[in-house]
Amino acid sequence: MRRMLSRSSLFLAFTAFFCLLSLSGFAQGYRIEVELEGFDNDTLTLAYYFGKSQYLKDTTTLQGGKYVFEGSEELKPGVYLVVMPPDNRFIHLLITEEEQKFSAFFNVNDVVMTARFKGSKDNQIYYDYLRELEFRRSRADELRQKLASDSLVTDAERDELAAIDAEVKKIQENVVARYPASLTAMLINANKEIEIPEYPELSEEDRRQKQYEFYKAHYFDHFDLSDPRAIRTGMMQNKIDFTWKNSTTHSRTARS
């Protein structure tokens, strides 16, 4: 009798343990709750990048004020798009291996400034970063437009634009330093400009050739093509196409 009770207790203990695992979120799959203010369509779709194309992953309808994307298999990490019909405007969401179940809120008329998340640190990092850029974008765009169209730009305006660019660079460096493994850091690094040496000792023709060779050799220094997230960012194929286009253009120019 004691042995039977012991086995029964053991069975119940294991059952309770696995139930707790399931209730604690160890079950696989994804669940993304989205609240959209200012959007009156009852249907929303979730898409993802693969190379330079976008593909549909999921579709949901409005229920209880929320759009819930849910599936039994985990999403591949990368940049996803919440697509709003009928004009197919979209909002970016970052998906990581660790954060497959979270909620998000946006006002569609001011996505970046109103974005809020629960259960997704990576998305919070990303939109905090975008907000910092948004604070500076209007003035920077104004100054760049004036530089492009007006020959009477003052030194003070040039210095102001340089200061804004320096601020943005510092913000990017801080994000990468604080969250080096984040998807946001990978996106920042992927867009990082290659600093090309001047080679002042060379002739003009040799200098251009040397700079081109340096640029080509270091073009992917900040973008890890072996990172499985890279193919789902919308950037990988564009960078490959860009370097191929410039390579063939340079070859034709060199032969002419």
The model's pLDDT over 191-240, given as tens digits with 9 standing for 90+, comes to: 887 778 888 888 888 888 888 888 777 776 667 777 889 889 977 655 55
- Tell me what pLDDT residue 21 has: 42
As a whole number of angstroms, the distance between CA 45 and CA 85 comes to: 8
Percent of the chain whose pLDDT exceeds 70: 79
- Tell me what pLDDT residue 5 has: 41
What are the sequence ranges of the domains in the chain? 27-119, 120-192, 194-244
In 3D space, the residue among 191, 196, 245 whose CA is nearest the CA of residue 217 turns out to be: 196
In 3D space, the residue among 12, 87, 73, 77 whose CA is nearest the CA of residue 45 turns out to be: 87
Place of tokens 């905090």: 128
The yes-or-no verdict on residue 11 having pLDDT over 50 is no
Those residues with Cβ within 8 angstroms of residue 249's Cβ, 6 or more apart along the chain or in another chain? none
| Topology at the third CATH level for domain 27-119 | Immunoglobulin-like (2.60.40)
Residue that wins the pLDDT comparison between 44 and 155: 44
Backbone angles phi, psi at 234, to 5 degrees: 80, 5
Is there a contact between 23 and 60 (Cβ–Cβ < 8 Å)?
A: no
- Read off the pLDDT band of 72 (50, 70, 90): very high
